[in-house]
Amino acid sequence: MPVNPQLPRPSDSRAAGAIDLRVQLGRLTLPNPILVASGTFGYAREMQQLVDLSRLGGILPKTVTREPRAGNPPWRTVETPSGMLNSIGLDNDGIDAFVAGHLPYLASVGAPIIVSIAGRTAEEFVEMSALLGGTSGPAAIELNISCPNVSGGVDFGANPAMCERLVGQCRAACQLPIVAKLTPNVTSIAEVAKAAEAGGADAISLINTCQAMAVDWRRRRPILGNVIGGLSGPAIKPIALRCVFQAARAVKTPLVGIGGIATIDDVMEFLVAGASAVQLGTVNFYNPTVSMTVLDALPDALATLGATSVGEVVGTLQAPAA
């Protein structure tokens, strides 16, 4: 993709040339650890006038399902202090329309494309994995086994045995790297992370949104049409950091941190807590050029710690044993 002269330019910092920003997530190599999260970046076409897409470490387009989905009834989003609630319900045109209408453009932008998929059954996950494995566009697949706004798929992210079996089935169905996206709405995130690792996940992304709700007390009714939604944004960052830290102590599989990341300080916190990469999510709605800002700041932040690569700081948090 040609660089738009009006887009933010890469940093000219001398530290930038000395820092290796590449990260390895199992079989997946990324040019840098700054990714954009599914459901917050559209299909990337919507952001092309604001962001140099080719500079991103990875793009996760909106989650796709086997068949078209209309999504949940309104209201589907609610602003909250330090975050937002959403109950979109994975509205999309289905995987066939995605492959025909969106994947060719995505494959042309110059950044690795990690396709997020969600199924109601294991068979749907496996079928979509196999279908995508037969195309040339995706660099990897992210299994959305953690969306709180639909029935069925989230069960795979809450039950360790089901998680392990599903990851293994999807890995066997295609040659693309597999990323398992986990939910915080479990008793032990470490146990589910272990299951994803046992199933052969190349990476584990965490977390998806936290189950939450909003109430109109005057009408004595819930505000979201689906009653329960998912909380995202800065409000959940401490929860996400805790989950990454706990998972990093439980598995050797690379982790991708998600949850309230909005600044270079947030990025660095997740890296030292144990994430090898991060996904920027809700922040894209109110600061759509943020990915360029944090990417420009990353080399100097790593240099501050005396590091010459991203990997040198991953999981270096000095904390006592639990």
Active site members? 147
**Cα–Cα distance between 291 and 296 in angstroms, integer?**
9
**Cα–Cα distance between 86 and 245 in angstroms, integer?**
26
**Cα–Cα distance between 32 and 120 in angstroms, integer?**
32
**Cα–Cα distance between 4 and 87 in angstroms, integer?**
34
Residue with tokens 């990341």: 261
- In single-letter form, the type of residue at position 108 comes to S
Q: Beta strand pairing status for 58-59 and 221-222?
A: unpaired
| 181's tokens | 């996206």
- In single-letter form, the type of residue at position 243 comes to C
What beta strand segments (E) does 27-136 contain?
Answer: 28-30, 34-36, 58-59, 64-65, 77-80, 83-86, 114-118
What count of other Cβ atoms lies within 10 Å of the Cβ of residue 247?
Answer: 27
**Cα–Cα distance between 90 and 144 in angstroms, integer?**
10
Cβ atoms of 270 and 244 within 8 Å: the answer is yes
With H, G, I as helix, E, B as strand and everything else as coil, classify residue 178. strand
With H, G, I as helix, E, B as strand and everything else as coil, classify residue 180. strand
Residue with tokens 């270079």: 264
Cβ atoms of 106 and 137 within 8 Å: the answer is yes
